[in-house]
Every structure is written in structure tokens, then in C-alpha cells.
């Protein structure tokens, strides 16, 4: 988006994993405030790329017309977007950025998300599931959503290291 001279250009980012946590995002993207929360209708949180993650499978979303995924929406500056791209492995081809529609209480918003460029499958670590559930809770996700996250299958052996 372009604004008046002297304004900062921002893009809307929808976080569905650990970046839902506003405190984490304040460290990774300090100029990009939380704007809202919402739902990716027709998308399911899943995991993949177990062979490339160092702590089990990595978070991603896939299209699934019977599902929805809670997201935190951030107004991200260009500089912070570059920093997030580095954090998420976008520059190395680990994640691809795509645009999606997010349902909020105020209507539909167009935002970008990171989608893992690997096959779905594998188990995330128990530690990673806990981080995602905590992030969802901090972002204001409904209790039932957080509970379902905490009950997801995970690798409890690898997370004891």
C-alpha cells in the first residue's frame, strides 16, 4: 500500500503459529503492531517437513473446506517484512508467501501468510505444540481452539532433549 509522502508502507500479515504471540512479534517485527484477529476459513493447521526441521515437523496450513485456522493479523512494515522473511526461511525457499482472505469481526481482510514448501506429514515436538498453543492464547484465541491445539498428536520423545 502506498500512502502520503513520509508515511510507511505496510502489508497485512496473518500469523497462525508462534508469531501469533504479540510479544514474539514485537521482537521479530518491532514496527508492526497487532491489528486484529480472525479466521482463515477453508484452511487447516497442519505440519510437514519433519526431515528439515530441527525440532520435529514445521507448522503450515493447507486448504481444507471443512476447517478453519485462527490467526493474528499484523500491520507489517517493509523492513519488518524482510526480517520476518529471514526468520521464516522464505529467502531459502522453506516457506512461500501467498495471499489469503481472513474473516474478522469487521469483515474480510486480504493478508499474506507463509506456507511450507514441503509435504504434509510428521509430528511436531510437544514443545512446539506448547509454543503454538501459548501464542494462540496470548493472541486471544477461543479456549476451545487452544485446548484442541494442546491435544494435538506430537512427538514427546524428541522434545526431552
Residues tagged in the binding site annotation for substrate: 13-18
The sign of the torsion formed by the CA atoms of 129, 57, 122, 14 equals: positive
CB atoms within 10 A of CB 24: 17
Is 143 annotated in the active site? no
**Which of 9, 10, 14 lies closest to 103, judged by CA?**
14
What is the residue whose three cell numbers read 486448504?
Answer: 63
Catalytic one among 51, 78, 81, 88? 88
Please report, in range form, the residues annotated as the binding site.
13-18
CA 158/CA 85 separation, integer angstroms: 27
Q: Which residues are catalytic?
A: 88
Amino acid at each position: 500500500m502506498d500512502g502520503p509522502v513520509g508515511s510507511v508502507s505496510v502489508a497485512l500479515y496473518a500469523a497462525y503459529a508462534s508469531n501469533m504471540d504479540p510479544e514474539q512479534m514485537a521482537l521479530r517485527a518491532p514496527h508492526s503492531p497487532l491489528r486484529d484477529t480472525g479466521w482463515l476459513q477453508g484452511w487447516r493447521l497442519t505440519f510437514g517437513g519433519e526431515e528439515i526441521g530441527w525440532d520435529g515437523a514445521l507448522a503450515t496450513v493447507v486448504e481444507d473446506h471443512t476447517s478453519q485456522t485462527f490467526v493474528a493479523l499484523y500491520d507489517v512494515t517493509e523492513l519488518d517484512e524482510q526480517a520476518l522473511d529471514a526468520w521464516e526461511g522464505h529467502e531459502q525457499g522453506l516457506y512461500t508467501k501467498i495471499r489469503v482472505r481472513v474473516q474478522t469481526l469487521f469483515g474480510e481482510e486480504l493478508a499474506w501468510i507463509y506456507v511450507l514448501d514441503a509435504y504434509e506429514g510428521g509430528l511436531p515436538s510437544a514443545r512446539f505444540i506448547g509454543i503454538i498453543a501459548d501464542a494462540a492464547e496470548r493472541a486471544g484465541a477461543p479456549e476451545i481452539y487452544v485446548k484442541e491445539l494442546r491435544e494435538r498428536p506430537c512427538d514427546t520423545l524428541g522434545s526431552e532433549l
